[in-house]
């Protein structure tokens, strides 16, 4: 999936554990939010599978139900 920089709309490059904008020289992380309660989700990745867990609702969330946003890494 192609992601665009929220500041300049340049295509971001994925680097190990974050997204990088070569134009702005800014690093971003992907943050998932629960579609039910709005709490920040924990991203679980193992054996090629990727899941999201809501600690507030105490349940796994499907990828399609997660609202994602890019957050600047300071």
pLDDT above 90 covers a percentage of the chain that reads: 76
4-29 average pLDDT score: 94
Alpha helices in the chain (DSSP H): none
User: Which CATH topology does 13-72 take?
Assistant: Rubredoxin-like (2.10.290)
* Torsion sign (Cα): 7, 9, 10, 13: positive
- Whether 37 shows a pLDDT value over 80: the answer reads yes
Identify the pLDDT of residue 63.
Answer: 85
Q: Where are the domains of the chain?
A: 13-72
12-30 average pLDDT score: 94
Identify the pLDDT of residue 8.
Answer: 95
Q: Which of 30, 73, 38 is nearest to 55 (CA)?
A: 38
Cα angle, residue 49 at apex, residues 44 and 55 outer, rounded to 5°? 25
- Whether 2 shows a pLDDT value over 80: the answer reads yes
């Amino acid at each position: 999936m192609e992601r665009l920089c929220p500041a300049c709309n340049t295509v971001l490059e994925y680097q190990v554990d974050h997204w990088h904008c070569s134009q702005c020289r800014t690093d971003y992380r992907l943050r998932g939010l629960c579609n039910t309660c709005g709490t920040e989700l924990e991203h679980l990745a193992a054996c090629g599978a990727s899941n999201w867990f809501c600690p507030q609702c105490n349940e796994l969330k499907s990828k399609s139900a997660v609202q994602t946003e890019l957050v600047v890494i300071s």
